[in-house]
């Protein structure tokens, strides 16, 4: 039976660093694995990603576009893979929308709940790895990287609210969330991830 694993965290938390490690770790077990991302994951989703990351818009428009990309992602990638018994790992999923559009932007969580129930009423990740890091560390990492998208350019209060919502979600759904202290060394984090995956297998 297929499994669905998601990676979450504020920008600069370092989650992307560990996706390749998790992918290799799972593949070494002989598992058929699909790796994807949100927004995106499909040709249409990638077009919507560019709009969401770079165009200014009403916060509800933003949330609707993210969920539109997600519906396509589910229909074209996630659901077919799980149905054939493959595992899927995704760089972000609906927890990101609650964190960024709900926490950071202040959109009604009830509206996001309604969208979640519409778009994937019966599907949740089997495991969510939340990479958590203090805001100053995340900002220092972002400032040292590439040109920033509109979310990465947000102020500290936006990321504080985003992080708070992530941690609230983790407390609400402890059965699937594993919160990882992303201030640790890469080796320490990967050792922790390996232990989580071993228990998951």
Cβ 133 vs Cβ 12: under 8 Å: yes
Q: Helix or strand or coil: residue 47?
A: helix
* Sequence ranges of the binding site: 9-16
* Sequence ranges of the binding site for ATP: 9-16
Sign of CA dihedral 158, 168, 97, 14: positive
Sign of CA dihedral 90, 96, 101, 102: positive
CA distance 9 to 49: 18
> To the nearest 10°, the Cα dihedral for 23, 6, 118, 71?
-40
- Residues with Cβ within 8 Å of 200's Cβ and at least 6 positions away in sequence, in order, are 3, 126, 127
CA distance 133 to 122: 31
Question: Distance of alpha carbon 139 from its chain centroid, rounded?
Answer: 18
CA distance 5 to 115: 21
């Amino acid at each position: 039976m297929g499994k669905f694993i998601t990676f979450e965290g504020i920008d600069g938390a370092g989650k992307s660093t560990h996706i390749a490690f998790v992918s290799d770790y799972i593949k070494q077990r002989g598992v058929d694995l699909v790796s994807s991302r949100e927004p995106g994951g499909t040709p249409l989703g990638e077009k919507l990603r560019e709009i969401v990351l770079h165009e200014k818009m009403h916060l509800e428009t933003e949330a609707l576009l993210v969920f539109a990309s997600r519906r396509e992602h589910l229909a074209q990638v996630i659901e077919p893979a799980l149905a054939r018994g493959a595992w899927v790992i995704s760089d972000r999923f609906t927890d990101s929308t609650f964190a960024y559009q709900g926490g950071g932007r202040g959109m009604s969580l009830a509206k996001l709940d309604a969208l979640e129930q519409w778009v994937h009423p019966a599907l949740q990740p089997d495991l969510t790895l939340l990479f958590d890091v203090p805001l100053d560390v995340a900002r220092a990492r972002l400032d040292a990287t590439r040109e920033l998208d509109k979310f990465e350019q947000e102020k500290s209060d936006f990321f504080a609210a985003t992080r708070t919502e992530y941690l609230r979600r983790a407390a609400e759904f402890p059965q699937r969330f594993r919160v990882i202290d992303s201030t640790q060394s890469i080796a320490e984090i990967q050792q922790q991830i390996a232990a989580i995956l071993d228990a998951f297998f």
